[in-house]
Amino acid sequence: MKKFLALFSFLFIAVGLFWVCYKFFMTSSDDPPEFANFSTTLEPLACDMNKAACPVDFNGEQLKFELDPKPIYAMRPVTLKITGGAKLALKEPGLEIYGLNMDMGVIRAKLEQKGDDLVAQVVLSACVVDIMRYRFDVTDKGSKIGLHIDFDLKI
């Protein structure tokens, strides 16, 4: 029993010394702490989709992006409507939604044609920052076509 206690004490002291030496010699007080990479300074948007539909010119076509209900809340279903979107003649219209000021992953949704409009139901991810800026990228067959709009989700 005394051998076991002596071996355990020796290992405990050796591990403690190793940890102290590592912290003292291998890390520096100049090393910045690692935090999540996100931007807290955002330029104001030209149009606020929390208040009204926003017009976008794309390839000579006038389109409007609208979210319902307003204001937008995280983790609640939101309907995106692109008025005039059928004029784009997309074969497999879809959306890629992602954060601009923090990596929140990519949300993909299919756009359905309803009359002259393209419509999708989405649920936006919650975030820890006060204002999360998202981008809606319109896709065709999974490829971005260059049509997008940005909006802010306020927590």
pLDDT truncated to tens, each residue of the chain (155 aa)?
788 888 888 888 988 888 887 777 766 556 555 555 555 678 889 999 999 999 999 999 899 999 999 888 889 999 999 999 999 999 999 999 999 988 889 999 999 999 999 999 999 988 888 889 999 999 999 999 999 999 999 87
> Has this prediction a pTM greater than 0.85?
no
**Distance separating alpha carbons of residues 97 and 108, to the nearest angstrom:** 6
**Burial degree of 82 (CB within 10 A; 0-12, 13-18, 19+):** buried
Identify the bridge partners of residue 149 per DSSP, sorted by sequence position.
136
Angstrom CA distances, 58 to 70, 102, 149, 154, stand at 25, 27, 11, 27
User: Which of 70, 75, 69, 135 lies closest to 102, judged by CA?
Assistant: 135
User: Which of 113, 107, 106, 78 lies closest to 92, judged by CA?
Assistant: 113
